[in-house]
Amino acid sequence: MTILRISTYNIHKCVGLDRRRDPERIATVIGEINADVIGLQEVDNRSDGRGESAQMDFLAEKTGYKALPGPTIKHTSGHYGNVLLT
């Protein structure tokens, strides 16, 4: 039997309970989940000029998943909302 592991994770713009923005920590947790498909919520993929807010692209690169955007808010600098990692 084939097992398909699906997960969901609200990343709160990569801000933890300690109120620090830490995309690296979020990437580590995603790796530990080890799901086949992960639905992320509250992903900020807007460019702030320094590349610090392009969370979808960063998380996809760090985890090896392919990212599919599901924006709930579109900005001229990018989007905010949901992302599906496969």
For residue 33, being part of any structural domain is answered with: yes
Joined tokens for residue 85 = 């990692």
Q: Is 56 exposed, middle or buried (0-12, 13-18, 19+ CB in 10 A)?
A: buried
For residue 1, being part of any structural domain is answered with: no
Instruction: Tell me what pLDDT residue 76 has.
Output: 82
Write the single-letter amino acid at 62: K
For residue 59, being part of any structural domain is answered with: yes
pLDDT above 80 (res 81): yes
Nearest-angstrom CA–CA distance, 62 and 16? 18
Say how many domains are in the chain: 1
For residue 48, being part of any structural domain is answered with: yes
For residue 61, being part of any structural domain is answered with: yes
Q: Residue 15: which domain range?
A: 6-85
For residue 47, being part of any structural domain is answered with: yes
CB within 8 A of 41, min separation 6: which ones? 8, 9, 10, 11, 81, 82
Give the pLDDT confidence of 15-31 residue by residue, as tens digits. 999 999 999 999 999 99
For residue 41, being part of any structural domain is answered with: yes
pTM for the model: 0.88
